[in-house]
Amino acid sequence: MAKKWFETVAIAQERAHKRLPRSVYGALVAGSEKGLSSRDNLAAFDELGFAPHIADLPAQRSMATSVMGQEIAMPVLISPTGVQAVHPDGELAVARAAANRGLAMGLSSFASRSVEEVAAANDKVFFQLYWSGGRDVMVRRMERAKAAGAKGIIVTLDWSFSNGRDWGSPWIPEKIGFKEAMILAPQTLLRPRWLWSFARKAHFPDLSAPNMAEPGTKAPTFFGAYYEWMQSTPPTWEELTWLRAQWDGPFMVKGVSRIDDAKRVVQAGATALSVSNHGGNNLDGTPSPLRALPAVADAVGSEIEVLLDGGVRRGSDVVKALALGAKAVMIGRAYLWGLAANGQAGVENVLDVLHGGIDSTLLGLGRASIHELSRDDVVAPEGFFRILGG
């Protein structure tokens, strides 16, 4: 067990790289076009420094908070991702890990596990929707999530269906049966531990999207669901307001970069927004959310909960985002690396790494609580910030 423990997310990523077949690892690294945004998401955290204290440091630090009405043990949420093929327990392992650490989870509508299974494993689940399939279909998806016990909705609006990457996209089959397994064999046979983890459960990785199924029908394939989404006309602000009115509870809009959009999200009646560029998987060239965050937080932070996601790999990254005005952050790849490296225990390991990092950063900054953090705690180089749509 000790051998499987890792002390940083970077080590978890290295293990995921060794363990996962090339195409699965490539799908997680992702990024779009030239990878400008995915690189900037990481670079921005590196450019920001700290202004530490050396005495009067607090003996104990607290980091509990609440987001969308849920009490959470630290200001970190699981961002929704479809984790098909990373680990046989998929989102279920992630849900259990988050529940064991007192944390909430966003569940993707493209997830490989059903909202019923996941909400039974974690009572703080927010179901994530795309604008896909028409009004009635979306209402049915939300009703299903509510019946399963989801506590909130996350609507993700930043997606531009870009489909080229300068380093090439991995081949992902429609489904994995014997034939596809043989085509993938050259890379999967080089990853025997990954193969064995699925073989033990006697199934191939599930590439379907059960939460996109209509009542009484079979789960569509991942690509079938993606096609439905591609064919859907993107929503207007009025339609977003309509969607919000269909959900009686907390409602987050994910993918905001601009101040004017943030104000429209407030007008639509949302409870929360996440400043995000979809982990750099969307419109390449969108700046890191960390650079755009302060302007958005200044504009709407008193009216709505402002979160950030994109590029968080350390506890100190979480503290930087909070110092710049986020109430909490969401993580994507960080927990995916943990899941790939060591299943549920690997996700718990990542969450513990972040917890320890937040605690030691608060100590260094002389802050007894995350609620005391302010912009004075960080140093930003000239020209660091971006004000979009101001």
Q: Shortest distance, CB of residue 148 to ligand FMN, whole angstroms?
A: 17
Active-site annotation holder among 203, 278, 355, 371 = 278
Q: Return the residue of 13, 37, 70, 276 that touches ligand FMN, per CB under 6 A.
A: 276
Q: Return the residue of 75, 82, 338, 357 that touches ligand FMN, per CB under 6 A.
A: 82
Instruction: Based on the shown chain and the rule CB under 6 A, indicate whether residue 258 belongs to the binding site for ligand FMN.
Output: no
Backbone angles phi, psi at 319, to 5 degrees: -65, -40
Residues 6+ apart with CB under 8 A from 174: 180, 207, 221, 222, 223
- Residues 103 and 78 sit within 8 Å (Cβ to Cβ): yes
- Residues 156 and 109 sit within 8 Å (Cβ to Cβ): no
**How far is 320 from 298, CA to CA, in rounded Å?**
16
Q: Binding pattern to ligand FMN, positions 56-75, x when CB under 6 A?
A: --------------------
**How far is 348 from 99, CA to CA, in rounded Å?**
10
Q: Is the dihedral of CA 81, 261, 311, 38 positive or negative?
A: positive
Q: Return the residue of 156, 211, 257, 271 that touches ligand FMN, per CB under 6 A.
A: 156
Instruction: Based on the shown chain and the rule CB under 6 A, indicate whether residue 128 belongs to the binding site for ligand FMN.
Output: yes
- Residues 314 and 290 sit within 8 Å (Cβ to Cβ): no
**How far is 133 from 225, CA to CA, in rounded Å?**
9
Count of residues that interact with ligand FMN, criterion CB under 6 A: 25
Instruction: Based on the shown chain and the rule CB under 6 A, indicate whether residue 349 belongs to the binding site for ligand FMN.
Output: no
Q: Shortest distance, CB of residue 382 to ligand FMN, whole angstroms?
A: 25
Interface segment toward ligand FMN; rule CB under 6 A; list 77-85, 235-243, 345-353, 378-386: 77-85
Would you call 87 a catalytic residue per the annotation? no
Q: Return the residue of 9, 30, 63, 93 that touches ligand FMN, per CB under 6 A.
A: 30
Q: Return the residue of 13, 70, 79, 112 that touches ligand FMN, per CB under 6 A.
A: 79
Helix axes 237-245, 259-267, angle to 10 degrees: 40
Instruction: Based on the shown chain and the rule CB under 6 A, indicate whether residue 333 belongs to the binding site for ligand FMN.
Output: yes
Helix (H) or strand (E) holding 178: helix 178-188
Instruction: Based on the shown chain and the rule CB under 6 A, indicate whether residue 312 belongs to the binding site for ligand FMN.
Output: yes
Nearest to 276 by CA among 85, 81, 141: 81
Helix (H) or strand (E) holding 299: helix 289-300
b vs e for 183-205, b when ≥16 Cβ sit within 10 Å of the residue's Cβ?
ebeebbeebeebbebbeeeeebb
Token digits of residue 47 = 């450019």
Instruction: Based on the shown chain and the rule CB under 6 A, indicate whether residue 13 belongs to the binding site for ligand FMN.
Output: no
Instruction: Based on the shown chain and the rule CB under 6 A, indicate whether residue 81 belongs to the binding site for ligand FMN.
Output: yes
Q: Return the residue of 113, 124, 141, 254 that touches ligand FMN, per CB under 6 A.
A: 254
Instruction: Based on the shown chain and the rule CB under 6 A, indicate whether residue 133 belongs to the binding site for ligand FMN.
Output: no
- Residues 287 and 37 sit within 8 Å (Cβ to Cβ): yes
Instruction: Based on the shown chain and the rule CB under 6 A, indicate whether residue 257 belongs to the binding site for ligand FMN.
Output: no
**Pick 313 or 367: Cβ nearer ligand FMN:** 313
**How far is 152 from 158, CA to CA, in rounded Å?**
19
Interface segment toward ligand FMN; rule CB under 6 A; list 132-140, 211-219, 304-312, 339-347: 304-312
- Residues 92 and 118 sit within 8 Å (Cβ to Cβ): yes
Q: Shortest distance, CB of residue 72 to ligand FMN, whole angstroms?
A: 17
* Measured CA distances, 353 to 76, 188, 306 (Å): 12, 29, 24
Instruction: Based on the shown chain and the rule CB under 6 A, indicate whether residue 310 belongs to the binding site for ligand FMN.
Output: yes
Q: Shortest distance, CB of residue 141 to ligand FMN, whole angstroms?
A: 13
Q: Return the residue of 84, 108, 271, 316 that touches ligand FMN, per CB under 6 A.
A: 108
Interface segment toward ligand FMN; rule CB under 6 A; list 160-168, 193-201, 278-286, 318-326: 278-286
| Interacting residues with ligand FMN (CB under 6 A) | 27-28, 30, 41, 79-82, 108, 110, 128, 156, 254, 276, 278-279, 281, 309-312, 331-334
Residues taking part in catalysis? 278
